Amino acid sequence: PCIKDIREKYIKLYEQYGGEKFEIIGIGDDPENRIKEFTMQNNIPWIMISDSKRKIQESYRVKFFPGLYLINPEGIIIAKGNELKKDKLELILKKCLMEL
């Protein structure tokens, strides 16, 4: 389901809103070569980072992949996890971008 969401939702949102006010950074726990392969196979336009040693995961206490976090320009998490599932991400994103 998460790959389907990437293909059907996140790429579209990135194309629509990505840029100066909105950025996606993907972090996976696979080795770098598998992350690159996944990125190419799925035409992902944003940065993907390998965290195969789980340093990022431990530092930010990420328990599950995929983990979704919407962080404002000041670095504050404004929504995460189930708050961003399905169409909720687009609604929150529209509201946040209107406030900027």
Tens of pLDDT along 47-83? 888 998 989 888 878 777 767 778 877 878 888 888 8
How many other C-beta atoms can be found within 10 angstroms of the C-beta atom of residue 10?
21
User: Can you give the pLDDT at residue 45?
Assistant: 92
pLDDT range class, residue 100, cuts 50, 70, 90: low
| Strand partners of residue 28 | 50
Confidence check: pLDDT of 41 > 90:
yes
CB-facing half-sphere around the CA of 8: CA atoms within 13 A: 8
User: Can you give the pLDDT at residue 44?
Assistant: 92
Q: Give backbone dihedrals phi and psi of 47, rounded to 5 degrees, phi first.
A: -70, 135
What letter represents residue 43's amino acid?
Answer: N
